[in-house]
Amino acid sequence: MVITDRFTGTAVLLTGAGSGIGRATAVRLVAEGAHVFAVDADEAGLAGTVDAVSGAGHIVAHVADVSDEAAVVAAVDAAVADLGALDVLVNVAGIHRTTPIERLTVDDLRTLFDVNVVGTALFCREALRHLPEDGVIVNTASSSASHGNPFMTAYSATKGAVLAFSLSLASEVIGRGVRVLVVSPGSTATPLTAAVRFEGLDPAYYARIVSPMGTGKPEQIASTIAFAASRDASYLTGVDLRVDGGSHI
């Protein structure tokens, strides 16, 4: 991994920072000089992320439920107060459920949409009050947003919504100079995906979705997020960067 100083002095608000891709992104951005305001509902997970940074730079942990509007408003206000500004928003927070369509409930739908879509949209809305002309938003969707997977109807719908929301937001704010990008991971080894179960599914299915390059690592997704948020991607906006090891070629 090549570490640069692309984010020296950059103020970043990062959601979902308590584990997996979010934690790896926090570590990467701090290593490149960013000042990170890390948000997650899991206080212990956030503490682990702060420990993972190991005093390498500026990181502040903030516990919040991303689906709670008041909590989102308070989190963005707190980030600006702590960092003194806000240059980049990275939305990684999300949940995953696998449910056969016959067992899908309204509660499943509402919970997934509240966290994955509403949380992302609320942070974007509030962050845009503070982002400068060259500000950046990076939202995390999934390869499931554009490719079908059994038992993931609700989850895939939320990630498809994040993708569609982000592309339209990019067109809305391009005149302000704010870039909006989407990073869509494929199968990645995180605590979130480790808990996913496909009851009754033919094991041959896994051979179809796993890339010959193997399962992705959180650090590989984090490096793409860092690229998207950096000046190296200054001519990119309104695009989906699918990071899945070629599993859907």
The per-residue pLDDT for range 28-77, each reduced to its tens digit, is 999 999 999 999 999 999 999 999 998 788 999 999 999 999 999 999 99
User: Per-residue pLDDT tens for 89-113?
Assistant: 999 999 998 899 999 999 999 999 9
CA 124 distance to own-chain centroid: 12
Lowest average pLDDT, out of 6-10, 31-35, 145-149, goes to 145-149
In this structure, what are the phi and psi dihedrals at residue 3, rounded to the nearest 5 degrees?
A: -105, 130
Is-above-0.85 flag for pTM? Answer: yes
Largest pairwise CA distance in the chain: 52
Name the strand (E) or helix (H) holding 182: strand 179-185
Most confident residue range from 53-62, 69-78, 195-204, 207-216? 69-78
Q: Residue 2 above 80 pLDDT? A: no
The active-site residue out of 155, 205, 206, 235 is 155
Compute the residue count for the chain. 249
Q: Cα(46)–Cα(35) distance, rounded to whole angstroms?
A: 15
pLDDT band with cut points at 50, 70 and 90 for residue 124 = very high
155 is catalytic: yes
Token pair of 61, please? Answer: 């942990």
Rounded Cα distance, 8 and 112, in Å? 35
Of the candidates 14, 83, 80, 108, the residue with the CA atom closest to the CA atom of residue 53: 14
Q: Could you give the angle at the alpha carbon of 173 between the alpha carbons of 171 and 175, nearest 5°?
A: 95
- At 248, the pLDDT band (50, 70, 90 cuts) reads confident
Please state whether 84 falls in left (phi above 0), alpha (psi between -120 and 50) or beta. Answer: left
